[in-house]
């Protein structure tokens, strides 16, 4: 065999390997969808034979599809419950792993004619509005937090998610921590029985409803508010400061979690710290511990490794906060649990 053939042989073999097209199906959270779209696109550029098909259907849908086995992995902003994990393990003999990907924030967005400044919202105001107990924009609870702002006496129209949603889990987890009334009557979850309001599907649906509905208020992931140029409110945190949602505030909230649990299921809403934004959260990929298809298993593990390194450098331009270094180090070790 001549030297030219020896030189070309590895290239031919590499080309044959690359020719194998790999499609990985996933579904779930809309909260991190802009980030995941960017990652999957960039990773596909590096490995053209690998394609991610991610359906942004909400965290409830992500949990449902991964537990039913219709996707390779799911995505959620609310961690799976002990009961959900047990039911899956009892049925299959192995578990589902949680991998934090980025951190983000839920923000109150509103459409109030004549109000062009960033409104301040106390925990009592947000709980009261979404409970249907605060019904006017000039309510005393809102007025005292916004001195000098000419709040109208118009009725408040609440907009919430209509689908199972991790964005809703974060919002209701926060409200459950700051309001006993909310915790006992409504509670936390990807879907809840809303006391009042109109429903919108996805962060996109809530953004659209608020933009076209005068005197409305809703909640969306920060990037959706930024992309749609919506008014966002500051929220009073546990330290008593009104904080706007930004990367520094989300990072400060994450710093409150001194020890990340081994299963990565942790809540950082209503975190202590003078600069902590109180409606912050990790978001997770939900990956089965055992993946039968060895090619897809390797591809997913390699993607996780890339996401925890190069992928983290892409977060801030899309208004997400990168993972703390200690969390990244712990996740890199956890990848080995995927068999």
The winner for highest mean pLDDT among 19-28, 126-135, 218-227 is 126-135
**Measured distance CA(227)–CA(294) in Å, rounded:** 39
What tokens appear for 279 in the block? 């409606």
Instruction: Check whether 43 has a pLDDT greater than 60.
Output: yes
pLDDT at 195: 97
Three-class secondary structure of residue 339 per DSSP: coil
Beta bridge partners of 23: 51
State how far Cα 290 lies from the chain centre: 24
Computed over every residue of the chain, the mean pLDDT equals: 91
Yes or no: say if 120 and 242 are a contact pair by the CB < 8 Å rule.
yes
Higher pLDDT, 207 or 4: 207
Map tokens 């960033």 to a residue.
118
- Residue 146's contacts (CB-CB under 8 Å, 6 or more residues apart) are 117, 119, 120
Higher pLDDT, 130 or 5: 130
* Confidence bin at 18 (pLDDT 50/70/90): very low
Domain with residues 19-103+282-337, CATH architecture: 3-Layer(aba) Sandwich (3.40)
Domain with residues 105-254, CATH architecture: 3-Layer(aba) Sandwich (3.40)
- Residue 153's contacts (CB-CB under 8 Å, 6 or more residues apart) are 136, 137, 138
What tokens appear for 84 in the block? 């959900």
19-103+282-337 and 105-254, same CATH topology: yes
In the chain, domain spans: 19-103+282-337, 105-254
For residue 148, the number of C-alpha atoms closer than 13 Å in the C-beta half-sphere is 4
State how far Cα 139 lies from the chain centre: 31
* Long-range contacts at 85-92 (CB < 8 A, ≥ 24 apart): 92/288, 92/290
**Measured distance CA(247)–CA(101) in Å, rounded:** 15
- Residue 300's contacts (CB-CB under 8 Å, 6 or more residues apart) are 24, 72, 73, 287, 291, 338
Antiparallel, parallel or unpaired: β 96-111 and 231-232: antiparallel
pLDDT at 113: 87
Q: Can you list the positions of beta strands (E) in the chain?
A: 22-28, 50-56, 73-76, 96-111, 120-121, 157-161, 198-200, 216-221, 231-232, 234-236, 242-243, 280-288
**Measured distance CA(2)–CA(242) in Å, rounded:** 73
* Confidence bin at 6 (pLDDT 50/70/90): very low
Residues 116-134 have a mean pLDDT of 96
Phi, psi of 165 (to 5 degrees): -145, 130
Q: Quick: pLDDT tens for 161-210.
A: 998 888 999 999 999 999 999 999 999 988 999 999 999 998 889 999 99
* Confidence bin at 19 (pLDDT 50/70/90): low
Beta bridge partners of 76: 284
Query: Is residue 238 within a helix (H) or strand (E), and if so which, with residue range?
Result: none
What tokens appear for 73 in the block? 């992995």
**Measured distance CA(173)–CA(126) in Å, rounded:** 13
Please give the model's pTM, rounded to 2 decimal places.
0.83
């Amino acid at each position: 065999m001549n030297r030219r053939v020896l030189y070309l042989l590895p290239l031919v073999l590499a080309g044959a390997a690359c020719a194998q097209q790999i499609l990985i199906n996933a579904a779930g959270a809309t909260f991190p969808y802009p980030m995941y779209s960017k990652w999957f696109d960039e990773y596909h550029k590096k490995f053209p034979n690998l394609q991610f098909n991610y359906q942004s259907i909400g965290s409830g849908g992500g949990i449902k599809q991964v537990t039913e086995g219709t996707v390779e992995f799911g995505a959620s902003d609310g961690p799976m419950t002990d009961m959900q994990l047990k039911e899956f393990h009892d049925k299959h003999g192995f578990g589902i792993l949680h991998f934090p990907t980025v951190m983000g924030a839920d923000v109150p967005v509103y459409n109030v004619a004549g109000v062009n400044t960033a409104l301040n919202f106390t925990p009592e105001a947000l709980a009261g509005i979404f409970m249907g107990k605060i019904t006017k924009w000039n309510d005393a609870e809102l007025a005292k937090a916004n001195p000098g702002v000419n709040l109208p006496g118009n009725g408040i129209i609440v907009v919430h998610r209509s689908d199972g949603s991790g964005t809703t889990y974060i919002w209701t987890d926060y409200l459950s921590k700051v309001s006993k009334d909310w915790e006992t009557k409504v509670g936390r979850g990807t879907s809840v029985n809303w006391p009042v309001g109109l429903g919108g599907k996805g962060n996109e649906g809530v953004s659209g409803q608020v933009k076209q509905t005068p005197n409305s208020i809703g909640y969306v992931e920060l990037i959706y508010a930024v992309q749609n140029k919506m008014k966002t409110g500051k929220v009073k945190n546990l330290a008593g400061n009104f904080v706007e949602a930004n990367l520094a505030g989300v990072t400060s909230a994450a710093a409150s979690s001194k020890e990340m649990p081994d299963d990565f299921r942790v809540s950082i809403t209503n975190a202590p710290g003078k600069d902590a934004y109180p409606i912050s959260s990790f978001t997770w990929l939900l990956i089965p511990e055992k993946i039968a298809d060895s090619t897809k298993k390797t591809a997913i593990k390699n993607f996780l490794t890339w996401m925890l390194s190069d992928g983290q450098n892409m977060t801030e331009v899309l208004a997400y906060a990168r993972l703390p270094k200690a969390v990244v180090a712990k996740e890199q070790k956890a990848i080995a649990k995927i068999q």
